[in-house]
Every structure is written in C-alpha cells, then in structure tokens.
Structure 1
Amino acid sequence: MKDISYIVKEASGAAVDGLRRAAKANDLTKTRMAEAIGVSRPTLDSRLESGDMKLTEFLHLAVAAKKKPSEAMVCCDNILAEAEALAEGGE
C-alpha cells in the first residue's frame, strides 16, 4: 500500500500535468507559461517535472491555459478516492 504522502504527490502531479497538456493544446509556449505564473522558464520546468507548484501558480497557469482549475483537479479526486478504496480493502 502506498503511503498518503506518495498518493498526494501523485494526485498533485496529475493535476499539474493536466494543466501542462491544456496549455500545450492552446499553443501556450513554456516561456508564456513561465510569464503567466511569474517564474523563469527553468523554474517552470522544475515545477512541471516535480508536479508541485504553489496554488497561486496553479491558478495563474489554469487561467493562461484556459482551463477551469476545478476541472484540472478532478483527477485528484479520482486518485484519492481510489487510494481510499484500496485502504478499505478494495481492489
């Protein structure tokens, strides 16, 4: 069984990756994404790679990518619900 910190990191990474894909679909360059969240491009790359960013950065990126933050977070609900079911003995 995965521990909760791993599961939360997995959920966070999925949400950030969803925004990255939405940005790409809207032809948003990494330079523009970095500008939108107020960081350098290498810092953006680090945030995208780790799947971890500040909530304000996440919200700014969602706006720039034309994605509702709540839609980007749906995957978190799914990952956390699956983990909860496994913890309760499900498969």
Structure 2
Amino acid sequence: MTKLRGLLPAVLLGLLVLLPAPALAAGEPATTVSVVVAQDPTPPPGPVLDPAESERANSEKTKNQLIAGGAAVVLLGIVLWGRRVRAKRRKSG
C-alpha cells in the first residue's frame, strides 16, 4: 500500500510532463494584446503628506503596539501561572 502511495504522485507528475497542453496541441498561436497609454506631459501630483500628521500617526501606531505587547505579556503570564498550578496539583494529588 505504501508503494502505491509513492507511485501515484510520480505517475501523475509524469502524465503532466508528458502530455502537451491543450492549447499547444491544437496548434493555436498565442495572441498578445498591446495597450497604448497616452502620457500627459505633467502627471498629476501625488498626495501631500503633512509631517505633523505622519508624526501623530506613528505615535498612535507605537502606542497601539505597546498596548498589544502588554496584553501579550499579561496573557503569557496567565498561561505560565496556570501551568505551574496544574503541575503542583498533579504532584500533590
């Protein structure tokens, strides 16, 4: 049974390699589409970023990361404390 499991993927891979793709077997030429894009001499300007808003966004992101990190530490502490309590119960009982 294990030989069959190893043989089946090999046979399927061999069939994929040996059998030609249907589009190539029919002899249909590949079609290409070319797109011409008109370019303006002056591209539209991008968004203007205010440094004060960027600074505030970065500080909010840092604050959120600190809160998430603190929550992760508290949850890890709860898990470790629970495991210690369970280990003590197993030894005593």
**TM-score with structure 2 setting the length:** 0.26
Flag the structure with larger Rg: 2
**Which structure has greater helix proportion?**
1
**TM-score with structure 1 setting the length:** 0.27
